[in-house]
Chains A and B, each alone.
Chain A
Amino acid sequence: EPEVTQTPSHQVTQMGQEVILRCVPISNHLYFYWYRQILGQKVEFLVSFYNNEISEKSEIFDDQFSVERPDGSNFTLKIRSTKLEDSAMYFCASRDPLGRTSGELFFGEGSRLTVL
Protein backbone atom coordinates (compact mmCIF):
# COMPACT_ATOMS: atom_id res chain seq x y z
CA GLU A 1 0.00 0.00 0.00
CA PRO A 2 1.40 3.43 -0.90
CA GLU A 3 2.57 5.47 2.03
CA VAL A 4 4.10 8.80 2.94
CA THR A 5 7.69 8.47 4.08
CA GLN A 6 9.68 10.94 6.13
CA THR A 7 13.35 11.34 6.92
CA PRO A 8 15.04 11.61 9.28
CA SER A 9 13.01 9.91 11.95
CA HIS A 10 14.89 11.86 14.60
CA GLN A 11 17.26 14.80 14.32
CA VAL A 12 19.13 16.58 17.07
CA THR A 13 20.51 20.00 16.27
CA GLN A 14 22.00 23.04 17.96
CA MET A 15 20.02 26.23 18.31
CA GLY A 16 20.60 28.51 15.33
CA GLN A 17 21.36 25.71 12.90
CA GLU A 18 19.43 25.07 9.71
CA VAL A 19 17.36 21.91 9.47
CA ILE A 20 15.73 20.28 6.47
CA LEU A 21 13.05 17.66 6.99
CA ARG A 22 12.21 15.51 4.01
CA CYS A 23 9.03 13.85 2.90
CA VAL A 24 8.10 11.66 -0.03
CA PRO A 25 4.35 11.97 -0.55
CA ILE A 26 2.25 9.34 -2.26
CA SER A 27 3.06 9.59 -5.94
CA ASN A 28 -0.29 10.60 -7.45
CA HIS A 29 -1.20 13.05 -4.70
CA LEU A 30 -1.43 16.74 -5.43
CA TYR A 31 -1.83 18.45 -2.05
CA PHE A 32 0.96 18.40 0.52
CA TYR A 33 1.01 19.49 4.15
CA TRP A 34 3.21 19.94 7.16
CA TYR A 35 1.88 19.68 10.69
CA ARG A 36 3.76 19.66 13.95
CA GLN A 37 3.16 18.47 17.50
CA ILE A 38 5.09 19.93 20.39
CA LEU A 39 5.36 17.35 23.15
CA GLY A 40 2.16 17.27 25.18
CA GLN A 41 0.36 19.71 22.90
CA LYS A 42 -1.99 19.52 19.96
CA VAL A 43 -1.11 18.65 16.41
CA GLU A 44 -0.93 22.03 14.64
CA PHE A 45 -1.23 22.93 10.97
CA LEU A 46 1.81 24.66 9.49
CA VAL A 47 1.37 24.88 5.74
CA SER A 48 -0.35 23.44 2.70
CA PHE A 49 1.16 23.29 -0.77
CA TYR A 50 -0.47 22.81 -4.14
CA ASN A 51 0.62 23.37 -7.72
CA ASN A 52 4.12 24.33 -6.62
CA GLU A 53 3.10 27.08 -4.28
CA ILE A 54 1.90 27.60 -0.74
CA SER A 55 -1.90 27.57 -0.65
CA GLU A 56 -2.30 28.32 3.04
CA LYS A 57 -0.07 28.82 6.06
CA SER A 58 -0.65 29.29 9.74
CA GLU A 59 0.69 32.02 12.00
CA ILE A 60 3.34 29.55 13.14
CA PHE A 61 4.82 29.40 9.65
CA ASP A 62 6.91 32.56 9.79
CA ASP A 63 9.94 33.65 7.76
CA GLN A 64 12.11 31.03 9.44
CA PHE A 65 10.17 28.30 7.67
CA SER A 66 10.06 27.43 4.00
CA VAL A 67 8.81 24.54 1.91
CA GLU A 68 9.91 23.24 -1.43
CA ARG A 69 9.16 20.48 -3.88
CA PRO A 70 12.53 20.36 -5.58
CA ASP A 71 12.27 17.37 -7.85
CA GLY A 72 8.68 16.24 -8.26
CA SER A 73 8.89 13.57 -5.59
CA ASN A 74 10.31 15.13 -2.42
CA PHE A 75 8.58 17.75 -0.30
CA THR A 76 10.84 19.49 2.19
CA LEU A 77 10.41 21.71 5.22
CA LYS A 78 13.35 23.97 6.03
CA ILE A 79 13.87 25.79 9.29
CA ARG A 80 16.56 28.40 8.72
CA SER A 81 17.69 29.11 12.26
CA THR A 82 16.24 26.72 14.78
CA LYS A 83 15.01 27.81 18.18
CA LEU A 84 14.43 25.73 21.28
CA GLU A 85 10.68 26.04 20.76
CA ASP A 86 10.96 24.37 17.35
CA SER A 87 11.51 21.05 19.11
CA ALA A 88 8.54 18.95 18.04
CA MET A 89 7.34 16.04 15.96
CA TYR A 90 6.81 17.19 12.39
CA PHE A 91 4.27 15.31 10.26
CA CYS A 92 4.06 15.42 6.50
CA ALA A 93 0.79 14.56 4.77
CA SER A 94 -0.53 14.32 1.24
CA ARG A 95 -3.93 14.13 -0.41
CA ASP A 96 -5.34 13.05 -3.72
CA PRO A 97 -8.25 15.40 -4.50
CA LEU A 98 -9.45 13.41 -7.48
CA GLY A 99 -9.45 9.78 -6.45
CA ARG A 100 -11.49 7.51 -4.23
CA THR A 101 -9.87 8.89 -1.08
CA SER A 102 -10.32 12.53 -2.04
CA GLY A 103 -11.18 13.70 1.48
CA GLU A 104 -8.43 11.90 3.32
CA LEU A 105 -5.00 13.07 4.35
CA PHE A 106 -2.32 10.39 4.45
CA PHE A 107 0.30 11.07 7.08
CA GLY A 108 3.90 9.99 7.44
CA GLU A 109 5.38 8.60 10.63
CA GLY A 110 6.81 11.93 11.63
CA SER A 111 10.27 13.43 12.13
CA ARG A 112 11.21 14.24 15.67
CA LEU A 113 13.31 17.40 15.91
CA THR A 114 15.20 18.17 19.10
CA VAL A 115 16.85 21.58 19.37
CA LEU A 116 19.49 21.93 22.09
Chain B
Amino acid sequence: GESVGLHLPTLSVQEGDNSIINCAYSNSASDYFIWYKQESGKGPQFIIDIRSNMDKRQGQRVTVLLNKTVKHLSLQIAATQPGDSAVYFCAENGREYGNKLVFGAGTILRVKS
Protein backbone atom coordinates (compact mmCIF):
# COMPACT_ATOMS: atom_id res chain seq x y z
CA GLY B 1 0.00 0.00 0.00
CA GLU B 2 0.98 3.65 0.15
CA SER B 3 3.23 4.30 3.08
CA VAL B 4 6.34 6.26 3.84
CA GLY B 5 7.96 5.69 7.20
CA LEU B 6 10.85 7.01 9.25
CA HIS B 7 13.39 5.06 11.28
CA LEU B 8 13.97 7.63 14.03
CA PRO B 9 11.19 9.70 15.51
CA THR B 10 13.53 12.07 17.40
CA LEU B 11 17.10 13.12 16.70
CA SER B 12 19.17 15.31 19.00
CA VAL B 13 22.44 16.77 17.73
CA GLN B 14 24.97 19.26 18.93
CA GLU B 15 25.18 22.57 17.10
CA GLY B 16 27.82 22.34 14.40
CA ASP B 17 27.55 18.59 13.99
CA ASN B 18 26.11 16.92 10.91
CA SER B 19 22.60 15.46 11.05
CA ILE B 20 21.26 12.47 9.18
CA ILE B 21 17.52 11.86 9.00
CA ASN B 22 16.35 8.60 7.48
CA CYS B 23 13.20 7.50 5.71
CA ALA B 24 11.97 4.18 4.34
CA TYR B 25 9.40 4.09 1.59
CA SER B 26 7.37 1.11 0.53
CA ASN B 27 6.15 1.91 -2.96
CA SER B 28 8.80 0.91 -5.48
CA ALA B 29 6.81 2.70 -8.19
CA SER B 30 7.41 6.10 -6.60
CA ASP B 31 9.75 8.15 -8.74
CA TYR B 32 9.97 11.48 -6.96
CA PHE B 33 10.85 12.23 -3.36
CA ILE B 34 10.83 15.41 -1.33
CA TRP B 35 12.05 16.47 2.08
CA TYR B 36 10.00 19.06 3.95
CA LYS B 37 10.81 21.00 7.09
CA GLN B 38 8.00 22.01 9.41
CA GLU B 39 8.57 24.48 12.23
CA SER B 40 6.10 24.84 15.06
CA GLY B 41 2.96 26.65 13.98
CA LYS B 42 3.94 26.71 10.31
CA GLY B 43 3.18 24.71 7.23
CA PRO B 44 5.74 22.35 5.67
CA GLN B 45 8.51 24.07 3.75
CA PHE B 46 10.26 22.48 0.77
CA ILE B 47 13.93 21.66 1.41
CA ILE B 48 15.17 19.47 -1.41
CA ASP B 49 13.90 16.91 -3.86
CA ILE B 50 15.28 14.01 -5.88
CA ARG B 51 14.03 11.94 -8.78
CA SER B 52 14.41 8.20 -8.94
CA ASN B 53 16.98 8.38 -11.76
CA MET B 54 19.42 9.98 -9.32
CA ASP B 55 21.03 8.67 -6.16
CA LYS B 56 22.34 11.91 -4.72
CA ARG B 57 21.46 15.56 -4.88
CA GLN B 58 23.07 18.46 -3.04
CA GLY B 59 21.72 21.78 -1.96
CA GLN B 60 22.94 24.44 0.39
CA ARG B 61 24.09 22.54 3.51
CA VAL B 62 21.71 19.69 2.65
CA THR B 63 22.18 16.48 0.71
CA VAL B 64 19.57 13.89 -0.15
CA LEU B 65 20.57 10.30 -0.84
CA LEU B 66 18.32 7.76 -2.49
CA ASN B 67 18.89 4.01 -2.38
CA LYS B 68 16.26 2.37 -4.55
CA THR B 69 17.57 -1.11 -3.87
CA VAL B 70 16.49 -0.95 -0.25
CA LYS B 71 13.90 1.81 -0.74
CA HIS B 72 15.67 4.19 1.60
CA LEU B 73 15.95 7.97 1.58
CA SER B 74 18.11 10.14 3.80
CA LEU B 75 18.58 13.84 4.43
CA GLN B 76 21.98 15.05 5.54
CA ILE B 77 22.32 18.49 7.09
CA ALA B 78 25.85 19.83 7.41
CA ALA B 79 26.91 22.00 10.34
CA THR B 80 23.51 21.84 11.99
CA GLN B 81 22.28 25.13 13.41
CA PRO B 82 19.64 25.91 16.05
CA GLY B 83 17.40 27.18 13.26
CA ASP B 84 17.34 23.67 11.82
CA SER B 85 15.30 22.46 14.79
CA ALA B 86 11.98 21.31 13.35
CA VAL B 87 10.07 18.25 12.22
CA TYR B 88 11.31 16.79 8.96
CA PHE B 89 9.06 14.81 6.63
CA CYS B 90 9.88 12.79 3.59
CA ALA B 91 7.18 12.50 0.96
CA GLU B 92 6.87 10.44 -2.17
CA ASN B 93 5.10 10.91 -5.44
CA GLY B 94 4.56 8.65 -8.39
CA ARG B 95 3.00 8.96 -11.82
CA GLU B 96 -0.06 7.08 -10.67
CA TYR B 97 -0.48 9.62 -7.84
CA GLY B 98 -0.81 12.59 -10.15
CA ASN B 99 0.46 15.45 -8.04
CA LYS B 100 -0.51 13.75 -4.79
CA LEU B 101 2.11 13.54 -2.07
CA VAL B 102 2.25 10.70 0.45
CA PHE B 103 3.95 11.83 3.64
CA GLY B 104 5.72 9.89 6.32
CA ALA B 105 5.18 10.46 10.04
CA GLY B 106 8.14 12.80 10.54
CA THR B 107 11.35 13.05 12.55
CA ILE B 108 11.89 15.68 15.21
CA LEU B 109 15.32 17.28 14.99
CA ARG B 110 16.55 19.04 18.13
CA VAL B 111 19.73 21.05 17.95
CA LYS B 112 21.54 21.62 21.24
CA SER B 113 23.61 24.76 21.62
Question: Does B associate with A?
Answer: no
Q: Which residues of B are at the interface with A, using a C-beta cutoff of 8 A?
A: none
Q: Which residues of A are at the interface with B, using a C-beta cutoff of 8 A?
A: none
